[in-house]
Chain A
Amino acid sequence: MGRSLLIVSVISGAVSVVRLLSSLGVIYLTLGWNVRRAKRAFEKELIKQGMPKEDAKRMSARYAALKDEALNALKRSIRPFS
């Protein structure tokens, strides 16, 4: 009885871990897409108000670079645990 309960718990725990990892993977894969969309919307608003296209592109690149910075910070924060 106790052993079967333990096995069920271990299996459902493993399922939860797999579900968590797959969700995080999906978030990571869709992040680039979200950043591109946000960058495009940002650029569009700047151009709408009369900013030169090159300047708007340079500014939106800075906005997109925030993603890399955030990911690097995340990697740095994970490193001490590994």
Chain B
Amino acid sequence: MSERPEKKRHGMEADEVKEILGAVSTEVPGLIKSIIASVFSEEAGKNMGKAAAAFYKELKDGGMPDAVAVKMTEDYISVFTSLGDVLKRAGGSGGKVRFGVSKGKTGVESEEGTEGGTVAQEVEREVERRVKQRLAERRGEEDEEDED
């Protein structure tokens, strides 16, 4: 008696899996293709080149020496291409990317890479310090009231 609903359930599950696989096989390649095209296409390369070339031209027009202008443009491009570093850090720290503040330096840092700790840790320390200070003040006031 109970075999029939069981079979029906298995049939429905298989049907659902079939539908999911069908949707995944059509949607996922399109998604990946569009992500890749946003970085690696003739249009994207041209736009990035235009931005870098405009930057270089401005520096040259401003009287910057050629070597310095090239170096600065290289640094400018590394802003676009630092995506790889971000992914590397994300992969290296088990998917945790923190916005860290170390001594005199801000930016995206992994948990291991920061010297002064993350922003969250600093905020936590500051809040703790202030709470302790406030409690001490309150205790002092209470002691004064008791003495009166």
**Which residues of A come within 8 Å of B, CB atoms?**
2-3, 5-6, 9-10, 12-13, 16-17, 19-20, 23-24, 27, 31, 34-35, 37-46, 48-52, 55, 58-59, 62-63, 65-67, 69-70, 72-73, 76-77
Q: Contact size class for B?
A: 35 or more
> Is B25 in contact with A27, judged by CB distance below 8 angstroms?
no
Task: Select A42's contact among B29, B49, B74, B88, beta carbons within 8 Å.
Answer: B49
Q: Decide yes or no: A2 and B8 within 8 Å by CB, A9-B18, A40-B45, A63-B45 being known contacts.
A: yes
Interface string of B44-59 (1 = CB under 8 A from A): 1110111011101100
> Is B48 in contact with A42, judged by CB distance below 8 angstroms?
yes
Smallest Cβ-Cβ distance to A39: which chain B residue: B45
Once the chains are docked, how many angstroms separate the CA of A16 from the CA of B85? 34
> Is A34 in contact with B48, judged by CB distance below 8 angstroms?
no
Smallest Cβ-Cβ distance to A63: which chain B residue: B81
**Which residues of B come within 8 Å of A, CB atoms?**
7-8, 10-11, 14-15, 17-18, 21-22, 24-26, 28-29, 32-33, 36-37, 39-46, 48-50, 52-54, 56-57, 60, 66, 70, 73-74, 77-78, 80-81, 83-85, 87-88, 90-91
Once the chains are docked, how many angstroms separate the CA of A3 from the CA of B89? 49
Can you identify 6 A-B contacts, CB atoms within 8 angstroms? Answer: A6-B11, A19-B26, A20-B25, A34-B42, A59-B52, A69-B85
Task: Select A45's contact among B8, B39, B50, beta carbons within 8 Å.
Answer: B50
Smallest Cβ-Cβ distance to A38: which chain B residue: B45
> Is B14 in contact with A35, judged by CB distance below 8 angstroms?
no
